[in-house]
A and B are shown apart, each in its own frame.
Chain A
Amino acid sequence: MSLLRDQGVVLRTYRLGEADRIVVLLTERHGKVRAVAKGVRRTSSKFGARVEPLSHVALLLWEGRGDLDIINQAEVIDHFRVVRDDLDRVTAGLSMLEVADQLAQERHADPRLYAMLVGALRALADETVDPSLVPPAFFLKALVLEGAGPIIDACASCGEPDGSVELVAFDLTEGGTLCRGCRRGRPLSPDALVLVRRILGGGLASVLAGPPLPGADEVGGLATEAMEAHLDRRLRSVRSVAHL
């Protein structure tokens, strides 16, 4: 067994035996890692809240012979207190963890996904930022990272550019925005299209820093559906808490 040092975000945990947990982490240099935190459910545990979902931690891991490593030490880099103490921010954060868990591959480093997740959690921990737009922006950017980014400046079906046709619908299985003649999927308002373009065109920081924008709810639904289409599964964290 060898020792690994890395940083990671705790994506989820499972109970194991009497007092242990299996902790799933997205690490910077080793991709998705599953590790056992021994005794973590006891009140006297040395890990305590460090390996709870959402925590950004520096780790020392014993590399196991099988799938599971063992957490030897964990130190908090950021536990995103603001996110934990607000129900809307917690549920937003959990939906991003679920997506990162689905996209990341075990033992395969993806530093860009890791950096994006940490950045999105930091944005969510900023009290001046409206939490509702952070997960949709993360989903859309993660789709681009996966090579499945939507076409937003032309009709994805007939190829006619925006301007020569009006883009009025969105369907990720078709590739993105659709004109009136090719429309299917969900309707798309001009406000939502502008917002998607700003998010994917490098204007995310100004979108998040500004006041609530028209079309934000629509972009939320659109990004969730697009990510679900890409993953070919429902996002439990979004659906189960949709009406909290």
Chain B
Amino acid sequence: MYTGPLRALIDELGMLPGVGPKSAQRMAFHILKVPTEDALRLSDAIVSVKERTTLCAVCFNVAEGGELCGICADDRRDPSVLCVVEDPRDIVSVERTGEFSGRYHVLGGALNPLEGVGPEQLRVRELLARVEAHEVTEAILCTNPNLEGEATAMYLARLLKPLGIRITRLASGLPVGGDLEYADELTLGRALEGRRDLEG
């Protein structure tokens, strides 16, 4: 139907996650319609993110303009506590809480036996090397609370336990603002299990 640069743009946009042919066509026509400087800003942003962004050599978070990410380069962060996450986006979520001042390790996914993802596809070896080489005293296993994330956490706990460090897992429980009657049995069961004393 379309040819030349417009076809190429629709095809490229259609490769983005969650973008189907219709959405790609709509975006392409939007880009065609906006002023040239707006379109150039978009293309510059794409080029610079590819040129200036790498993975941190230590934790595999996104690093901008250097070998280390902002967190690994920050001396004020506590190197003895390591928060192990699946994806760099999880770091953003934990950082937004403002409750954590340690460092991170990004696994690059979770064990997924049904998809054939085993430990070799994750940065587990690098995690073990980090724990052994540095003065890590606690590893917080911050993988997603689904079957893959739980299996990954159990696997890592099995590997890290012999190294003599404290292994902790994020608590599971009820979302703040939710209704108890809609809580599923597994979540509510874990919330009960992890109940805490309340100071009167």
Residue of A nearest to B120 (CB): A240
Pair A76/B184 contact, Cβ less than 8 Å: yes
Q: How many Å lie between the Cα of A85 and that of B18 in the bound state?
A: 33
Q: How many Å lie between the Cα of A95 and that of B155 in the bound state?
A: 17
Q: Contacts A87-B151, A90-B147, A90-B154: A47 and B117 contacting too (C-beta < 8 A)? A: no
Give how many A residues have a beta carbon under 8 Å from the other chain's beta carbons.
Answer: 33
Pair A54/B147 contact, Cβ less than 8 Å: yes
Interface assignment of B183: CB less than 8 Å from any CB of chain A: yes
Pair A81/B114 contact, Cβ less than 8 Å: no
Pair A97/B114 contact, Cβ less than 8 Å: yes
Pair A47/B175 contact, Cβ less than 8 Å: no
Pair A98/B114 contact, Cβ less than 8 Å: yes
Give how many B residues have a beta carbon under 8 Å from the other chain's beta carbons.
Answer: 27
Pair A244/B119 contact, Cβ less than 8 Å: yes
Interface assignment of A18: CB less than 8 Å from any CB of chain B: yes
Pair B113/A46 contact, Cβ less than 8 Å: no
Residue of B nearest to A94 (CB): B113
Interface assignment of B26: CB less than 8 Å from any CB of chain A: no
Q: A244 to chain B: which residues have CB within 8 Å?
A: 118-119, 155, 158
Pair A43/B154 contact, Cβ less than 8 Å: no
Q: How many Å lie between the Cα of A240 and that of B114 in the bound state?
A: 9
Interface assignment of B200: CB less than 8 Å from any CB of chain A: no
Residue of A nearest to B157 (CB): A87
Least CB distance from A106 to B in Å reads 18
Q: Contacts A44-B178, A87-B155: A239 and B116 contacting too (C-beta < 8 A)? A: yes
Q: B158 to chain A: which residues have CB within 8 Å?
A: 87, 244
Q: Mark B146-170, 1 if CB is under 8 A from A, else 0.
A: 1100110011001000000000000
Besides the contacts A76-B186, A87-B155, A236-B116, what 12 more A-B pairs have beta carbons closer than 8 Å? A12-B114, A44-B178, A48-B183, A49-B146, A76-B185, A84-B150, A90-B150, A90-B154, A91-B151, A94-B114, A236-B115, A244-B118
Q: How many Å lie between the Cα of A236 and that of B121 in the bound state?
A: 14
